[in-house]
Amino acid sequence: MSEPVAAARGQAALLGPAEVRALAERFGVRPTKQLGQNFVHDANTVRRIVAAAGVGREDVVLEVGPGLGSLTLALLDVVDRVIAVEIDPVLASHLPRTVADRAPDLTDRLDVVEADALRVSATDLPGTPTALVANLPYNVAVPVLLHLLAEIPSIRTALVMVQAEVAERLAAEPGSRVYGVPSVKAGYFGTVRRAGSVGRQVFWPVPQVESGLVRIDRYPTPPWPQDAAHRQRVFSVIDAAFAQRRKTLRAALGSWAGSAAEAESRLRAAGIDPAARGETLTTGEYVELASRSSAL
């Protein structure tokens, strides 16, 4: 293991390619696809992610999948607290030591929680996150993101690195070819925009896909209720509309409404053309449509 590179007092020594390899070797980590383990070994990339997140001293950052600590170290440089949720017990157990080695003045800013981010809830965390900043495991990126936005309302901002195609989907506008369930559901929580692209070469192992950054800013004053019952109602209409995205909404929403005629009447009541397709509706229109179902 190479010695930590010199860092200014009170600052973290970020991980480069040699350090990432050496840590993985020392911990006996063989990156798996199943857990989306592609580790960043480029200091500029992690600094860029932290800058794009717009987090500062007062923030409590939830990081999902800290891995070997590349992004964690960059976060510890600028925020007072990082709560890192890692599913891999080997990675979770070694992270505090890596931080002690490479950022000895910053160790008390870190809490590591060994858990599945898809199941974690606010009460499992030793603090109240104000931001989510993560290089997400790509195979579960959207479910993790939506789960955390739903479960942890204190998160005001999310800056996540995901597969480029997923970044495009999340930030797509109605009518776009890639607008779909992730776009509409992310738009339920806040405004979504792309925040940059990341090439493959900053990762080890090198992934097969390009990456992208997405930022979600939660609505400061939510335009609709944010409780679980409301969300479930709205999400079930979204799922039904996109399950048959080539069909008109009148046809696609037949089983959701009970019949095509009832779907048509709810669509009309919501001011939506029954011949429209799901990919043309805004999140607000889905909310309006869900409110036409008797149970809301």
Contact set with ligand SAM (CB under 6 A): 35-40, 64-68, 70-71, 85-88, 91, 116-118, 135, 137, 140
Q: How far is the CB of 60 from ligand SAM (least distance, A)?
A: 17
| Residues with Cβ within 8 Å of residue 288, at least 6 apart in sequence | 270, 271, 272
Tokens 């030591």 belong to 97
Of 88 and 264, nearer to ligand SAM (C-beta) is: 88
Q: In angstroms, rounded to a whole number, what is the distance separating the alpha carbons of residues 40 and 206?
A: 9
Of 161 and 270, nearer to ligand SAM (C-beta) is: 161
Of 147 and 292, nearer to ligand SAM (C-beta) is: 147
Of 36 and 254, nearer to ligand SAM (C-beta) is: 36
Confirm if 110 and 76 have CB atoms less than 8 A apart: yes
Q: How far is the CB of 38 from ligand SAM (least distance, A)?
A: 5
Q: How far is the CB of 109 from ligand SAM (least distance, A)?
A: 16
Write out the two tokens for 88. 């891999």
Of 37 and 283, nearer to ligand SAM (C-beta) is: 37
Q: How far is the CB of 234 from ligand SAM (least distance, A)?
A: 25
Q: In angstroms, rounded to a whole number, what is the distance separating the alpha carbons of residues 18 and 4?
A: 11
Q: In angstroms, rounded to a whole number, what is the distance separating the alpha carbons of residues 76 and 7?
A: 13
Entry field: residues in the chain: 296
Confirm if 188 and 162 have CB atoms less than 8 A apart: no
Q: How far is the CB of 161 from ligand SAM (least distance, A)?
A: 7
Q: Report CA Rg, the chain.
A: 21
